[in-house]
Each structure stands twice: as C-alpha cells, then as structure tokens.
Amino acid sequence: MKKIIFLLVGTFFSFVVNAQSVIGAWEGYSTSETGEKLRSVVIFADGYQVLTIYDAETGKFIHSNGGTWKLDGNVMTEKVEFHSDNPERVSTEVSFEVTITDTTLQIVGSEMKLTRIDNGTPGKLQGAWLMSGRVRDGKEQLRDTSGPRKTMKILSGTRFQWIAYNTKTKQFMGTGGGTYTTVDGEYTENIEFFSRDDSRAGASLKFNYSFVDGNWHHKGFSSKGNPIHEIWSVRD
C-alpha cells in the first residue's frame, strides 16, 4: 500500500511540475514560402492557451487558435475553442507528446520548437480573463460569461492577447496582442498584431487598471479613441 501511495504522489508531483513549467509565453520563428519571417507566440495560462502566427516585421496577422489544455505526463491535450482558419476544428481535441525544459518546448515528431519568453512573472494580470461587463454613465452593465459568445484575454508575465469568438456558431471574430506593462496602476498595451487592421501594429495604448471584488477594471480609450471602462473576470 505504501508503494502504491508513493507512486501516486510521485505521478501527481510530476504533473504539477510539468504543468507549472509550461505556464507563460513561448516563441518560435519560421520562414514562409514567399520569404517572410514569421513569428509564432504561444501563451499558456492556467487551463487556457492561445497560439498566434504573424509577420515578425510588419505585424501582418496570419493565424490564431486556442482553447483549453491539460498535461498528463508528457502528453498535452488541447480542446479547440476558436480557430481563425478552420471553424470545423472547434470543439475537437488533439493530443501530442511534448518535451519541456526550463527554456524550450518542443512537439515530439515536429519541427516546432519554442523558446521561453517568460514564466508568467512578473505580472499581476497573468491568467485567462473573460469580459464580463462595462461601466456606462457610472452604472455597471454585467453580462453572462457562460454563454457561447466570448471575449477572452490571456496574459503571461509580459504578453497579452484578446480573442473574440463564438463556440456555438464556431465564428472567429478577431484578435490582437503584443506586450504589456503594469506600472503604478497604469496598464500599457504595445500592439504587435491586430487581425482586423494590420496598420494598428506598433501602436501603444494606456489604461488605468484596478481590482474591484476580484474583477479587473480597465479604463481608458480604445484604439479608435472611444472612452471605455471594461470589467474582466477571471476565467475558471
């Protein structure tokens, strides 16, 4: 009995270590058929992940997909919630073997090898969030985050990405991302790609942020110059 308990504890400990080690942001580079230098960035938060490919020089958006993930030993299983190219992939699962070190993540049998950008720190906002409401004219307007239409934002220690999608219709509505900083209550996004308008790449947006009852309040001006006050809730 003691041996069995030891094996179970050892297996659980291995899972925790491996799962913890994948949290954060990773990057890899490749060359397209027409010669562009492509950058792939993957962000892993607790239970959720997103992969995006874009032109490293121009910021032109190429592809994004993501959803939930779990790691069992060295086998990662991902369930697709959104896919910019192939909506039929939504709700499907894929499993593959990975090799993870402190600095690299590689899919076994694939040429895809990623290098760690960060391990989830620093960053008070690290994690997966769902837009759960807005404040208009001083009044909160909350929305149900359990529905199929979602706007999710995933942050590592240094990188962010938002994704708008619908798990029922399988529609991918847009995404954008890049790096971010949090200093003295000010949250700054430095945009590296924006699927709806590639010309937004290179722009920076500053917001005030605070936490109210565990929710992230995000207040400032959108990329179009419109005032916004968004409420984001941690995704379970």
What is the predicted pLDDT for the residue at 16? Answer: 41
The pTM score is 0.90
Nearest to 81 by CA among 72, 62, 71, 94: 94
Give first-to-last CA distance, the chain, whole Å.
Answer: 35
Selected residue with higher pLDDT from 226 and 77: 77
Q: Which fold has domain 127-234?
A: Lipocalin (2.40.128)
Average pLDDT, the chain: 91
Q: Do residues 117 and 158 lie in contact, with contact meaning Cβ atoms separated by under 8 Å? A: yes
Return phi, psi of residue 203, to 5°: -80, 155
Per-residue HEC secondary structure of 36-86 comes to: CEEEEEEEEECCEEEEEEEECCCCCEEEEEEEEEEEECCEEEEEEEEECCC
Q: How far apart are CA 112 and CA 104, in angstroms?
A: 11
Is the domain spanning 21-118 CATH 2.40.128.280? The answer is yes
Contacts of 113 (CB under 8 A, 6+ apart): 28, 104, 105, 106, 107
Break the chain into its structural domains and give their ranges.
21-118, 127-234
What is the predicted pLDDT for the residue at 205? Answer: 95
Write out pLDDT tens, residues 103-116.
Answer: 999 999 988 899 99
**Paired strand residues for 109:** none
CA distances from 112 to 51, 58, 97 (A): 12, 22, 12
What is the predicted pLDDT for the residue at 19? Answer: 60
Q: What is the arithmetic mean of pLDDT over 146-160?
A: 97
Contacts of 94 (CB under 8 A, 6+ apart): 77, 78, 80
Q: How far apart are CA 103 and CA 92, in angstroms?
A: 29
- Site of tokens 């874009």: 54
Write out pLDDT tens, residues 10-25.
Answer: 333 333 445 659 999 9
Q: How confident is the model at residue 123 (pLDDT cuts 50, 70, 90)?
A: confident
What is the predicted pLDDT for the residue at 224? Answer: 81
Q: How confident is the model at residue 124 (pLDDT cuts 50, 70, 90)?
A: confident
Contacts of 132 (CB under 8 A, 6+ apart): 142, 143, 145, 215, 231, 232, 233
Residue 122: asked if its preceding bond is cis (omega within 30°), the reply is yes
Q: How confident is the model at residue 2 (pLDDT cuts 50, 70, 90)?
A: very low
Asked if pLDDT for residue 9 goes beyond 80, the answer is: no
Amino acid identity for residue 140 in this structure: E
Q: What is the arithmetic mean of pLDDT over 72-92?
A: 97
- Which range is least confidently modeled, 42-51, 111-120, 197-206, 219-228? 219-228
Selected residue with higher pLDDT from 191 and 110: 191
Asked if pLDDT for residue 169 goes beyond 60, the answer is: yes
Write out pLDDT tens, residues 34-72.
Answer: 999 999 999 999 999 999 999 999 999 999 999 999 999
